[in-house]
Structure 1
Amino acid sequence: MDLTSDSASSLRIRVVSDGRAGIQNQALGLAEAVQRLRPADIEICRIGWGSAFDKWPSALKQPWMRDPESDPVLPSDGAPWPDIWIATGRASLPLSSRAVTAGPGRPFVVQTQDPRWRTDRFDLVVAPEHDGLSGANVVSILGSPHRITPVRIADAVAAFSDRLDPLPRPRVAVLVGGRSASHDLPPDHAARLADQIAGAVRAVGGSVMVTLSRRTPPEAEAILRERLAVVPGWIWDGQGDNPYFAFLGAADHVLVTEDSANMAAEAASTGRPVHLLRMVARKSQPKFDRLREALVTRGLARPFDGTLDFPATPRVPLAETDRAARLLLARYDAFRA
């Protein structure tokens, strides 16, 4: 359990997730956006379920079924609830449901993503618009909540300046996902992407800043590392502090694989030109198609065509997390009134 404290706090926010970065950062990013608007303490709680119960339906799970290593997210007898509870992911749903029915003194319960379970019972659901979710308690945003802010990425660039400053411009951040239920990155496709990226960067005399995912297949990772090593740059090896925020801050262009709504929204929030890298579809993917179309329609992104050409029209950085935070506080104030 971690605590981000604001000494002048008037709000207590509890962030609940299974602790995986891509999941936790949605709830934490929204909490931090609220904290930028109103003083608050943020408590980060990581939870999991015992192996015998993990696959059980959310409606059947009980608190005693949690993994012993889970943080104590439910208050003990007599202890107060937080003011606001922000949770993300399937693992959090049974506990969010318990929080919203806790009676007097309960928190204002916010669930990000499409819960796919009892959506109308939460006080607020902040869901990607490409999920097509609707309801009186639903706020739809383009992409997902995240932690990217101009200050955070600028600070990250300064922290890694010894590695980033020597890289020739234009600097191209390459954010690579991997195999998922909807997409794959087989070796032959990884080779084509790597060659196209290297060619585009070489053509403008630039450099790459590459970060890979735990989902990146090992064969694809090896190919990307080998074939992108022919141009100047930094291909992060996964050791030491993660330069992901720094890469976004230092980039003149961002190339991101289409399999991650999180990475696409984070890239678009920087205001840099975003190029979407095609993956191999494993099944029909209407949600990702809708996200891609929305980013392109708003002038925030374009499909990567083997060049770094991008329309010269001004781009307004995507700021959906901040918009969601403003709406959250308005709903919270009404809840407490």
Structure 2
Amino acid sequence: MTKDRGAPPSVWVVSDGRAGIENQGLGLAEAMGRERPIDLSVKRIGWKGALGRLPWWLHPLPRQTLAPGSDIAPPWPDIWIAVGRATLPLSMRMRRWTRGRTMVVQLQDPRMPTGPFDLVIPPRHDRMKGENVLPILGSPHRVTAERLAADYARFEDQLAPLPRPRVAVLIGGKSKAFNLSPERAAEMAREIETAVAAAGGSVLVTFSRRTPEAAKAILASRLRHLPGMVWDGEGDNPYFAFLAAADYVLVTEESTNMTTEAASTGKPVFVLKMEGESLKFRLYHDELRELGAARPFAGRFEDWTYQPLDETGRAAREVLRRFDARSGVG
């Protein structure tokens, strides 16, 4: 079937459905949609049995081994945006299946040769290079001024009366390189409590799915007596409302997503030390510090200004530029 050349390009965002992964693809696609109309679809995939744990090269017939509900079938999109290891067996074959008609964009470092993809968009601290590689600082995300304002409006009655400075506290958790033990959680709570009390402000605390339960309980109990809100996991997560309301943002160092989102607000971002070490993350935080976006938390709040980070918009414009070039537009 011939596509109407005047129609908006069809864009699929493909992932295994985990929110932190899917939101990277959606963030990029939505940024493209702010540049021009697109026809966006979200595709969530799974694999039969234990296939999802196998490396990409051990999926000889990926479409036949997808779990029920994985809607991956023609008509194929104009632009395929995939994120996460689970998508690799499909992404690496998409150009062959579509005879090159679909532009294949893979987010994150695929840890495989980049030849099967039209464009790979990894974090800069992964130090990937190549003609079809566009490194960005951090990761794509869905934070916009409009979204922050809309979410703030939903929680305004609870947030507006809180004393300033309002401090958003974004707590992640255990990862390959980092951990948040009860001991570190107690130290972190004391550091935050002391600084907020000294400033006469309030806290806006939210946790991720990766936050260990023991650490969450300690931080919540230690910070709940301060003015503010501590999200208990019930109902809608006020994460974006907290970013909108905050004067300062504290974020744990292991989360590229949360740090990048915080740095997109233009507000001072302070990085909370976790247990563990990672050269890649040290390089990432060094870049944020050089841009003036973030500093290590030293137990007190400081004011400064910087140009809000917009790597998602930059990546979106580059995807569209390359799409136009391969389509003969312009």
TM range (shorter): over 0.9
Q: Counterpart in 1 of 2:9?
A: 11
Structure 2 distance, partners of 1:319, 1:51, is 39
Letter in 2 for 1:297: E
Q: For residue 68 of structure 2, what is the aligned residue in structure 1?
A: 68
Secondary structure at the residue paired with 1:308? coil
Matched residue, 2:136:
141
28-37 or 51-60, which moves further after superposition? 51-60
Q: Which residue in 1 is equivalent to 2:314? A: 323
Would you say how many aligned residue pairs link Structure 1 and Structure 2?
Answer: 321
Match in the other structure for 2:194: 199
Q: TM-score, normalised by structure 2?
A: 0.94
- 4+ runs of 1 displaced by more than 4 Å? none
Aligned ranges 1:176-215 → 2 under 5 Å? 176-215=171-210
Structure 2 residue runs without a partner (length 5+): 1-5
Give the equivalent residue in structure 2 for 1:303: 296
Is the 8 Å Cα contact of residues 104 and 118 (structure 2) preserved in structure 1?
Answer: yes
Q: CA-to-partner distance for each residue in 1:204-229, whole Å, 9 max, x for gaps?
A: 11111111111111111110001011
Could you tell me which residue of structure 2 aligns to residue 265 of structure 1?
260
How much is the aligned-residue C-alpha RMSD, in angstroms? 1.3
**How far off its partner does 1:106 sit?**
3.0
Distance in 2, Cα, partners of 1:171 & 1:9? 46
In the TM superposition, 1:123-138 aligns within 5 A as: 123-138=118-133
Give the distance between the partners of 2:193 and 2:237, measured in 1 at CA.
23
- In the alignment, the residues of structure 2 paired with residue 272 and residue 17 of structure 1 have an alpha-carbon distance, to the nearest angstrom, of 31
Gaps of 5+ in 1: 1-7
Q: In 2, are the aligned partners of 1:255 and 1:277 still within 8 Å (CA)?
A: yes
Aligned-residue sequence identity (percent) comes to 55
Pick aligned residue for 1:44 from 34, 42, 45: 42
Distance 1:30 1:108 in 2: 14
Q: For the residues of structure 1 that align with 2:217 and 2:116, how far apart are their CA atoms? A: 46
**CA shift for structure 1 position 73:** 2.0
Q: Give the equivalent residue in structure 1 for 2:56.
A: 58
Letter in 1 for 2:106: Q
3-state DSSP class of the match of 1:99?
A: helix
Matches within 5 A, 1:10-29: 10-29=8-27
Equivalent residues in 2 for 1:52-131, closer than 5 Å: 52-61=50-59, 62-70=62-70, 72-75=71-74, 80-104=75-99, 106-131=101-126
Match of 2:3 in 1: none
